[in-house]
Structures are given as C-alpha cells and as structure tokens.
C-alpha cells in the first residue's frame, strides 16, 4: 500500500472556518504533523488513535521530512498549516521534497483553506475587490532586500496589500520601514484595516489610515490590509470598488466628463503624497491635468483654505471675477458661471484703460487692474498672462485698504514674472492667494484654479467634469 500526504489548511482559527474536506482528512489520518501551536488548537478534532507529530517554530523542514518518512511506511499523513497551506505554509515544502524523487511511492495532495487575509477582508467588508497582493515581512526565508523591492512595487502599482507577519518580539523595525515606503507612493489618508486573531474569541478590528496606524501595535497574530487609491470607509466597512471608474449606466455620463474623471483618477495615483489639505490638492490636480506637468505639485502655492473659501464665496451666488486677459475668461466653466450667477469682467479693452495707462505711464494691464480694484474691490482677481497686472495688485494689497475675495497669480514668461509672484506672497496678508512659483503659468492654469474652486464639492467622488 502506497502512503499519502495530505497538506491541509486549517483556516484562520475558528473551527467553523475549516472546510469539511480538511476535517474529514484529519479524522481519517494515521498521523497528523504540524507546528505545536496549531496542534494544540485542533487537538479536540484529532481521534485518540491518531499519532501526533509536532515541533516548534522554524521546524518546517524537519516536519516535512518526518511526514515523508511516515508516509513511506504506507500510512495516511496529514500535514497542517494555518490559513491556506499554499500561502506561507507547508504546501511548497512538501511539494519540493516530493519533486526531489526521494519518495516516489508517496502520493501528495493539497487541500485548500481559508487564508487569514480572506477572513480579515470579510470582517472588514470588501477591501480586496480589485487587484491585490500579499506580502510577508518575515525575512527568515526571504532576504529583506527582496521584500523591500516587493513593498515598493506593490505601493507604486496601487495594489490593495495584505501584510502578513508584520512584527514579532525580535523583528520590530520592518513594519516601520513598510510604512515609510508606502507613504512614498500613497496618501497618508489611505484606508487601513487591522485584524488581530481573526475569527477567534478575542478578535479585534481597527480601522485607521496609512498615516495614523501605529506599527508597534501589530504582532504575529495580526493581518493588516492597506487599501488602494479608490478604497474608502463607509461606517464600519472598508470598501474597494471593483473598478477605478464610477459604475454608471452606459450613456448616463457625458463622454467628456467620463474621460476627465478618468484622467483625474490617474493623476491621483501618480501624485506624490505631500500632506496638502484636500482643497489645495484638488487645485493641484487641476493644474496637472491642464499642463500634464507633475512639477505643478511642487510649484503650486496657496494660502491655507483659499480654495475652500473661494468655493463658498463663488457658489453663494452673485460674485465677480476679474481677469487680466480674455483668454482666462474663456477657460472658466460657462455652466458653473451661469449656475451661480457669477459675472466675469476683463478691463483690457475698456476705453478708459488706454487713457489711464498713458497718463500714469503704466501698462494697460496695470491700468485695468487699478480700475477693477476701484469698481469691484470684493472680486476674485485672476491673472494668467501679464506680470505687470500682478505687480499692480500686489502694490494695492501692500498699501492697504484693498481686500478682495482673493488673487490668483499665474503669469508666464521671463520679465517681472518671478518678481510679481514674490511680491504677491509678501503683500497678501489676510487675502487668500494662489500662485504658480517660478516662470511657469498661463491663462489656462489661472482659469483651472478657479474651476477647481467651483467643483470642490465634487472632489471626494473625483468628478471634476460636471460642468464640461
């Protein structure tokens, strides 16, 4: 009679999570082989007539060899692992030894088990509904250099990531490094679910974020699930949508809006985590979308809360926007302007401007801003072309008595461009501002910052194209 080894996954801990196949194999075995801790947890399931072979941690190879010796005697041997035996378990060791040809008469089968990350995911809700991976932080069998490469790959590719063996008594620093590496590629607000002793009587669940979770709170009985860029919390549930795009009926969303939403989701995945508040990050995403230039993330500067304040003021109705050139005006969302009754004015071609510019010895752009400040002191001033227009606004702010809704400065070029932005930052005081540092800018960028303020209420669902 040929012997047989059955490699069985015991599930995450509760007897109820063990498959009927595994239970039947244990009860029909001549011997059960496994780690001492696991054997204690299933002792009540093993018949008295069945031989028990157990040893401690790091004794995997010894257990595998012993299983083949027993099976070569024509006996039915069950080798047990927690969770699924093929996931960081005994299955690969048994199959590697079998492939060596040393025990040709021994049959081997593997029975599936419920992995800890599957049980943890179910407990959390639906966090692994999209592409995911599992990474063990134990470097007993894998060099840390390899593990670190896998962490970087998972983080940069936006995989939902299950973390096994996050921390032990002597192996404590790896989870800190994991967090550091993930924060290079993911937002600190990325949802994280931590489940300890899943399915057992002392199970505990923590919902937190990548930036807030405490690495020192984890141990070998913990499985951590890190969401991707679309994962969100809903009450006590952690949910990853099955797709990156909203699940709408075909044709229910205009094509342009769908394309724009998809572009913004791609931008969100590619942006570096930078700790910006949500309103400012939303505006940065608009500038990147307009330029395809991720340097905008470094060049964009805004007063704290500026975008949110402008959103509230613009959507309250009846506001005025003053632009330096008509190209900025052309870039503003017409549907948003109409919805909120916002008036846009450009003084560049006003008959009074040429006369003022000549008499005062200033540029027409400066003259236009001087007149606009007198007639619409509460407006949002948006400069996308002329640095002299921004210099004029900075001077008015510096002198005092001028407190508009805000100033957006994005002139582009070489002469007075950088200086005008420095002056605006220095003169702003309590006036909310936003600007693009350095020589870069342009009318389209200036306009898109305004559009970001208009659409801020759509930021959470990543729907910037409502008014396209």
> Nearest-CA neighbor of 323 among 391, 290, 369?
369
Q: Residue 42: helix, strand or coil by DSSP? A: coil
Give the DSSP H/E element, type plus range, for residue 164. strand 160-164
Burial of 3 per CB tally in 10 Å (0-12, 13-18, 19+): buried
Paired tokens of 140: 């007993």
> Nearest-CA neighbor of 288 among 448, 418, 413?
448
Find residue 225's DSSP bridge partners: 162, 193
Q: Is residue 130 annotated as a catalytic residue, yes or no? A: no
Paired tokens of 47: 């018949």
Helices (H), 349-429: 351-360, 364-375, 387-399, 417-427
Burial of 126 per CB tally in 10 Å (0-12, 13-18, 19+): middle
- Strand locations in 14-156, DSSP E? 31-35, 51-55, 76-81, 107-111, 125-126, 132-136
Paired tokens of 279: 């309103």
Q: Residue 451: helix, strand or coil by DSSP? A: helix
What span, in angstroms and rounded, lies between the C-alpha atoms of 344 and 422?
26
Paired tokens of 389: 């227009």
- Strand locations in 211-290, DSSP E? 222-226, 232-234, 237-239
Q: Tell me which of 98, 185, 289, 311 is the catalytic residue.
A: 289
Report strand pairing: 406-409 vs 160-164.
unpaired
Radius of gyration of the chain (CA): 32
Q: Check: CB of residue 425 under 8 Å from CB of residue 306.
A: no
Other residues' Cβ atoms within 10 Å of the Cβ of residue 136 = 18
Other residues' Cβ atoms within 10 Å of the Cβ of residue 131 = 11
Catalytic residues: 289
């Amino acid at each position: 009679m040929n012997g047989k080894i059955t490699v069985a996954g015991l599930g995450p801990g509760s007897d109820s999570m063990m498959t009927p196949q595994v239970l039947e194999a244990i009860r029909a075995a001549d011997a059960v082989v496994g780690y001492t801790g696991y054997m204690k947890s299933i002792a009540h399931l093993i018949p008295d007539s069945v031989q028990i072979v157990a040893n401690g941690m790091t004794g995997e190879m010894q257990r595998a060899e012993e299983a083949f010796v027993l099976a070569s005697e024509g006996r039915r041997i069950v080798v047990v692992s927690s969770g699924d035996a093929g996931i960081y378990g005994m299955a690969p060791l048994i199959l590697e030894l079998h492939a060596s040809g040393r025990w040709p008469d021994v049959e081997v089968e593997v029975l599936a088990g419920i992995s800890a990350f599957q049980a943890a995911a179910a407990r959390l809700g639906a966090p692994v509904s999209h592409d995911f991976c599992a990474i063990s932080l134990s470097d007993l069998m894998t060099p840390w250099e390899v593990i670190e490469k896998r962490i970087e790959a998972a983080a940069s590719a936006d995989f939902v990531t299950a973390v096994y063996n996050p921390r032990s008594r002597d192996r404590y620093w790896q989870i800190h490094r994991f967090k550091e590496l993930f924060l290079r590629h993911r937002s600190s607000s990325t949802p994280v679910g931590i489940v300890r002793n899943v399915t057992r009587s002392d199970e505990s669940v923590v919902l937190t974020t990548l930036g807030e979770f405490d690495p020192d709170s984890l141990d070998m009985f913990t499985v951590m699930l890190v969401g991707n860029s679309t994962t969100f919390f809903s009450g006590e549930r952690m949910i990853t949508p099955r797709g990156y795009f909203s699940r709408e009926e075909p044709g229910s969303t205009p094509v342009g809006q769908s394309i724009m939403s998809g572009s913004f989701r791609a931008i969100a995945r590619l942006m570096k985590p930078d700790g910006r508040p949500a309103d400012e990050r939303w505006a940065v995403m608009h500038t990147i979308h307009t330029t395809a230039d991720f340097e905008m993330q470094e060049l964009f500067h805004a007063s704290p809360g500026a975008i949110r304040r402008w959103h509230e003021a613009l959507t309250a109705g009846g506001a005025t926007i003053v632009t330096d050139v008509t190209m900025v005006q052309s870039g503003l969302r017409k549907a948003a302007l109409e919805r909120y009754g916002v008036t846009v004015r450009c003084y560049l071609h006003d008959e009074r401007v040429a006369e003022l510019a000549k008499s005062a010895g200033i540029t027409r752009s400066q003259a236009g801003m001087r007149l606009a400040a007198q007639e619409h002191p509460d407006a949002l001033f948006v400069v996308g072309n002329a640095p002299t227009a921004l210099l004029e606004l900075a001077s008015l702010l510096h002198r005092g008595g001028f407190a508009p809704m805000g100033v957006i400065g994005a002139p582009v070029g070489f002469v007075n461009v950088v200086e005008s932005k420095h002056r605006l930052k220095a003169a702003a005081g309590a006036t909310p501002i936003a600007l693009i540092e350095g020589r870069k800018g342009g009318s389209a960028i200036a306009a898109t910052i305004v559009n970001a303020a208009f659409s801020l209420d759509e930021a959470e669902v990543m729907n910037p194209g409502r008014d396209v």
